[in-house]
Structures are given as C-alpha cells and as structure tokens.
Amino acid sequence: MNDIKRPTQEQINQTLWNACDTFRGAFDSSEYKNYILVFMFIKYLSDVWKDTYQAYKEQYGDNEELIQRKLNRERFVLPENCTFDYLNEHKNDSDIGEKIDKVLAQIEEKNLEKLDGVFRNISFNSDKLGQTKDRNRRLKNLINDFAKPELDFRPSLWDDKQDILGEAYMYLLERFASGAGKKGGEFFTPKEVSGLLAKLMAPEEGARICDPTCGSASLLIKVAEEATDKEGKPTHNFALYGQESNGDTWALSKMNCFLHGMDSAQIEWCDTINNPQLIEGGSLMKFDVVVANPPFSLDKWGYENAEADRYKRFLRGVPPKSKGDYAFILHMIETTLPTGKVGVIVPHGVLFRGSAEGKIRQKLIEENLLEAVIGLPQNLFYGTGIPAAILVFNKAKKDNRVLFIDASKDYQDGKKQNTLREQDIAKIVDTYKNFKVIDKYSEIVEPKDIADNDYNLNIPRYVDTFEDEEPVDIAAVQEEIDSLEKELLDVRAEMNGYLKELGL
Amino acid sequence: MLKKVPLKTISKSVSSGFSFREKIKNDPNGNIRVIQLKDFENNYTSIGEDCYTVDGTKIKKKYILNSGDILFISKGSNNYALSFYKKDDFPSIASSSLFVIRVDKSVAYPPYIAWYINQKKIQTYLKTNEMGTYVPNINKSTVEQMPIELPTIEKQMLIAKIAELNNKEQNIYHRITELKNIETQQQLLKSISK
C-alpha cells in the first residue's frame, strides 16, 4: 500500500479549501466552515473505521462476529450504514441531507461519551443550504470533493502520521479565521503566536494544561505539543482542559482534539467567567499551565455577578464593566497551582489603564506574580491591527524582578497581516528563559522601579528602543547647500543658452 | 502647424516587456536585471539602483534593452515614459507592466519622444483611451497610435536637452529645500540650550 504516491500537506490543504467552493456564495464562511469541518471529521472517522475493519479482517478472516466485537471496542464506533462510503453511495438520493443528519445522530449516539453535543448545532438538511434541489446539488458536490483520493485519511496510508490531518484542520481554521474579518479572532490565534506562547510555557511531563477561553483549541493543542519529559523529549503525558462559550466553536475544538489524537481532553461548553465548568470538589480546578487568548477588552463580561463570585476570583478588585481583560487574567491566576504558570495574550491597554485595573495590576505586582511582559508586533491578529502583549505570571517566582521584552520590531511584513518568523520566536524564548538583558530589546526591572512608574507597565518606559539621532554637521550641510546653489546657477546658465538657440 | 504622426510610423517596434509567469522574486545571483514600476524614481525620470535580478537563462535575447529604448508605463494611472540608457554591461529587461518602444533614430530622438509622451497632450489622449476596471491599462494599439509632433532631429535634441536640464534644476531645488529644513531644525534645537 505504501507505493501509492501520497499527497503532500499542501495538496490536502488545497483540496479541502477547494471543497469549500461548494458553499461559497450560498452563505457566509462563518456558517459553512462548520459544515466543512464536520464533514472532514466524519470522513476521518469513517476512513479510520475502514482501515481498522480491514486490519481485523486480515487477522481474523471471515469471523464477522469476532470482528464486530473487536470493532465495538475501538476509539470511535461507527454503527452500520454510518460511513462516508454509505453516503457516497446515496449521494444522488433526494433525501441526502436527511441521511447525513441521521448518520451524524447515530454516530453521536453510539459514542456519547466522546461526542455528546458535538453535532448538535449542525443540520445538513437545513434550508440554510438552499432549497431542496440546490441543497442536494451542494451536498452531492461536497461528497464528491471528499471522495477525492487526496482526501483519503486512512491511517495506513499515512504511517499513522496523524499530525498531517490535524495540520490540515488547523489550516482550514486559519484560512476561515483570516477570511472572517473581525470575527476571525474569536476562534483562532495565529499559529506563530500560539507557538510562541507554547514555547514560553514549556510544560513538563504530566502537566495539567488549561485554556479557559479555548476557541477551537488550537492554542491548547500547541501548548500540549510543547510538553517534554525530563530528558527534553516530546511526551504525550499531559492532561488538557478547556472551556469555550460559543457552542459552534466548542464543537470545533472537540473535533480538533480528536484529530490531533488528544482524545482525553476535557473541553466544556459555557462562559468561563459566569459559569466555570472545570470544577473539582466544589472549587475551581487548578492547573500547572494556564494559557489563553481571551477576547480583547470584552464588554459585558459579567460585572454584575463578579462581586459575589462564589469562587472568590475577584478579591483583588473587580475589573471595569466594559473591559473584561482582568476578569480573565484573575480567573487564570486563581486556577493555577502554587507552582504553576500563566501565559496570557492581552491588548496593550492592560499594561497601563488606571482606576480599578490599575489597582488589580498593583496587587499582582506586589504579590510578585508577574514574571515577564512581552510586547508583540502590530497586526499579528485576525480582524484587529492593534499590537498585543504577552503577560507571563509565575506563582513560584524566585526573583522579585520583572523581565520586559520589546519584540515589536521583529517580524515578517505581510500583505494583510504580519507574522512572527522562527528567529523572532527563538529570540523571545531565549531571552525569557535566560532572563537576558539585550540592548534596545529587553530589560530586567526592579519592583521599586515599577512602583515609581505608578505600576504602569508600558514597555517603552522600561526598554529604551529609541535610536540616537545622528548628529548633524551644520557646516557640512551649509557647504552642500552652497555647492548646490552654485550648480543651480550653472544649470540655469546652460539652459538659457539652449533656450536662446531654440529662439525663445 | 506641424503634422502629427502616429508613434507606430516612426518606430521599429512596440512590444510588451517580459511577462513572468510568477511573482518576480529577487535572486541575488541572477544574471539579468528586471526593471519594474517600483524602480521608476525622481518623478518617473530615472531608474533606481535597487532593481531585482533574476535568472535569465529562459529569457529570449530580444527582450534585452538597448540604450535609446523608450520604457512606457502601461499599467496604473501614471502612464509616463523615459528613455533608457545602459549604464553598465549588465543586461536589463522590462517587466510586463511596461511597453518597450524602439524608435527609428534617423527621424526621432528617444529622449524627445519620452518627454513628449509625458506632456499634457499625450497624457490626455491616454486617459481617454485607457481600459480596465481596477487597474487602468493602456493597450498596444493605443500606444502605437499616439499622435506625435515631430520637428527636425536637431530641434528634438535641443528640446530634450532643455527638458533634462529643467529636471535637473527641479532636483537641485528639491535637495536644497530638504537641506535647509534639516539645517533650520538643528539650529533651533541648538538655540534652546544656549
């Protein structure tokens, strides 16, 4: 089977992206992305299923009963007539939409523990996909696209290299995010930024990792992928937790984890601030690593209930009604173990806004929790050009100083968006890990100096990146002006000569 | 009054620049220089020093520019022309957003033609003939039909020379203004601490 030429990652990505053409025009990308991603997931499940069936068949021959029994103990169980092949055979049926829905329902039913609610919000038989005739045509196209050999996800073809699929899924998410404009940031953090945050967090073996605003879980997965054992080798020994408030995005995050082989991730659906779901024995669950890219300056984040919060997350102060940044930061700090770390992506306002936020910031610094402030280049995120910063909190901080990094000038210029290059990420991570001071780039600051600055964390106050102005030699400038004026006279004289010649 | 002649009648050839299949990427080891829109400097009167170089093995000889070839910008809304001259032995070609016009040098002096194209009369003619929805574009036949006033070759040379000097004058002016600004700001800053 290995002699088949395997499509490259690019080909797969491209084929998937082209499959979206089916829906384009009919409705918005923010809607159809769910259809494509769900369909990709179903295709994946049924390809895996097909493969396993084949393997058992080779092992046990015609003993169908034994095979069925074995199959029922698989990671995912597909009931009869619930495979992609079944849909492919029925693609010309007039009730294909209904058939797909039935398949989804049955798969969910059979794998309730893992897939409960994942397909809840999606219907392939909905009028959203057009009237019956249009809808059937679109679904048929969709099935045809996924039947292409490039999108054969059977693990045996891939030497079990599941990351290719995960990559493809992330690729689609990213493409959708970049096309969705302002809404794009809602479910995806650019992969360079999540990669940077993951490297900064560098989880150890056995770490409990959480993202309280996990979106499509891409950040969470990136962090998990950075987990290493004591010898520095990648490990799969970690536990993932997440929570997401948007139901559709939550479903995407579940599928994303499954496609990355991180089946045990516990991802809850609900608003983290108002209804935290990751609870253990009546209080908040605690983690070794907490990361997030919370919505920037969220309005109406749940101010009303904050004061009386039953988990007492806002004892340091209640953030302002219209800016939820510190609500998320405080939640993250409260859910971190005494040895744990927090890495959070925030808009710059978090560094310097006053009143309630200023007081919270002061407390966090006085408690010696803040470890690093990293300023990122502008225009890295989807749907917003504003520059962001990463705050790192460390509950087991030994030193009482704070590292400031101004990384805002190192990036790859992009047409629509800037990106962090590998060397930019490496420089930040190296500076952070070694607590380095680099001229015009980073600085280690005493808590006293921060207090002197009224707990304002604005990066230029601490890291001087201004280039000295080149001294101007006035005499030389005057000399150049003189010689130019002379030249001007010459040119004019020459011109006059020619003008006369022309008879003017 | 001088009779106007279509550009075509005084040209040996009017051809489009080399059309690359992909985005033009700079290859520091390239053996051929590509002149693109971005290389037009000083108000479209000269070619800058930062031209990209590319691998020229697949590019036919006929695309290589000679001194006296007129480069005409056909894409975009600034449809200006300049007379190319070789400043070294490194071969150059024009990108596809340019037209290369080779005039018959026995009747037309290239810098004069370039200057004439940049004047209001021809510019108006071009505006009325441009096509394209987002990026205005001048097509080949419009270029070929440009009505040119053609005095004697001596007069053409004289006009071109004066136009060149005029240009030079402008550039010097510009530079002087710039320097004066630097000088004044510096003196003001100094005066504070005096």
User: Please, which pLDDT band fits residue A472 given cuts at 50, 70 and 90?
Assistant: confident
Vertex A174: Cα angle to A171 and A178 (nearest 5): 140
User: CA nearest A192: which of A3, A376, A466, A432?
Assistant: A376
Q: What are phi and psi of A332, to 5 degrees?
A: -65, -45
Copy the structure tokens of residue B48.
Answer: 């800058």
Q: Is pLDDT of A1 > 50?
A: no
Q: For residues B152 and A264, what is the distance between their CA atoms, to the nearest angstrom?
A: 87
Distances A398 to A44, A288, A339, A395, A401 between C-alpha atoms, Å: 47, 17, 11, 9, 9
Query: Any idea which of A1-10, A117-126, A218-227 has the lowest mean pLDDT?
Result: A1-10
* Nearest CB partner across the interface for B161, out of A478, A488, A498: A498
pLDDT in tens, A64-101: 888 888 888 888 888 888 889 999 999 898 889 899 99
Task: Give chain B positions within 8 Å (CB) of A484.
Answer: 172, 175-176, 179
Copy the structure tokens of residue A254.
Answer: 């579940």
pLDDT in tens, A207-257: 999 999 998 888 999 999 999 888 888 888 999 999 998 888 898 899 889
- Start-to-end C-alpha separation, chain B: 66
Q: Does A112 touch chain B (CB under 8 A)?
A: no
pLDDT in tens, A357-384: 999 999 999 999 999 999 999 888 877 7
Q: Is pLDDT of A186 > 70?
A: no
| pTM score, whole prediction | 0.74
* 3-class DSSP assignment, residue A315: coil
- The reply to whether residue B165 touches residue A481, judged by beta carbons under 8 angstroms, is no
- Mutate which of B159, B178, B186, B191 to test chain A, going by most A C-beta atoms within 10 A? B186
User: Please, which pLDDT band fits residue A354 given cuts at 50, 70 and 90?
Assistant: confident
Q: For residues B106 and B176, what is the distance between their CA atoms, to the nearest angstrom?
A: 39
DSSP annotation string for B115-169: HHHTSHHHHHHHHHH-B-SSS-B--HHHHHT-EEE---HHHHHHHHHHHHHHHHH
DSSP B188: H
- The reply to whether residue B168 touches residue A491, judged by beta carbons under 8 angstroms, is yes
Burial (0-12, 13-18, 19+ Cβ within 10 Å), A9: middle
- The reply to whether residue A480 touches residue B179, judged by beta carbons under 8 angstroms, is yes
Q: How close is the nearest chain A Cα to the Cα of B93, in Å?
A: 27
Q: Does A478 touch chain B (CB under 8 A)?
A: yes
- The reply to whether residue A484 touches residue B176, judged by beta carbons under 8 angstroms, is yes
Q: What are phi and psi of B16, to 5 degrees?
A: -80, 155
More confident residue, A468 or A246: A246
Distances A379 to A67, A293, A388, A415 between C-alpha atoms, Å: 54, 15, 9, 10
Q: How close is the nearest chain A Cα to the Cα of B89, in Å?
A: 30
Q: Is pLDDT of A307 > 90?
A: no
Q: For chain B, 194 residues long, give each residue's pLDDT as a single digit of tens.
A: 678 899 999 999 999 999 888 888 888 888 899 999 889 888 888 888 888 888 888 888 889 999 999 999 999 888 999 999 888 889 999 999 999 999 999 999 999 999 999 999 999 999 898 888 888 889 899 999 999 999 999 999 999 999 999 999 999 999 999 999 988 988 898 888 77
Task: Give the pLDDT of residue A3.
Answer: 45
- For chain A, the average pLDDT equals 87
Enumerate residues 6+ apart whose C-beta is below 8 A from A60.
A66, A67, A70
Task: Give the pLDDT of residue B156.
Answer: 94
Highest average pLDDT, of A173-177, A296-300, B123-127, comes from B123-127
Three-state SS for B22-67 is: CCCCCCCCCCEEEECHHHEECCCCEECCCCEEECCCCCCHHHCCCC
- The reply to whether residue B180 touches residue A481, judged by beta carbons under 8 angstroms, is yes
Q: Is pLDDT of A187 > 70?
A: no
- Mutate which of B112, B153, B157, B168 to test chain A, going by most A C-beta atoms within 10 A? B168
- The reply to whether residue A495 touches residue B172, judged by beta carbons under 8 angstroms, is no
Q: For residues A415 and A412, what is the distance between their CA atoms, to the nearest angstrom?
A: 10
Q: Which residue of A has its CA nearest to B164?
A: A495
* Nearest CB partner across the interface for A481, out of B155, B166, B176: B176
The CA R_g of chain B, rounded to the nearest whole Å, is 20
* Nearest CB partner across the interface for B182, out of A477, A499, A501: A477
User: Please, which pLDDT band fits residue A487 given cuts at 50, 70 and 90?
Assistant: very high
User: CA nearest B12: which of B82, B94, B102?
Assistant: B102
ipTM exceeds 0.95, yes or no: no
Q: Is pLDDT of A4 > 80?
A: no
Alpha-helix runs per DSSP H in A434-471: 447-452
Q: Does B179 touch chain A (CB under 8 A)?
A: yes
Q: Is pLDDT of A420 > 80?
A: yes
More confident residue, A247 or A3: A247
Task: Give the pLDDT of residue A75.
Answer: 86
- The reply to whether residue A484 touches residue B155, judged by beta carbons under 8 angstroms, is no
Mean pLDDT of A439-462: 92
Task: Give the pLDDT of residue A160.
Answer: 58
Q: Which amino acid is at A313?
A: R
Q: Which residues pair with B16 in a beta bridge?
A: B99
* Nearest CB partner across the interface for B172, out of A472, A474, A491: A491
Q: For residues B171 and B43, what is the distance between their CA atoms, to the nearest angstrom?
A: 10
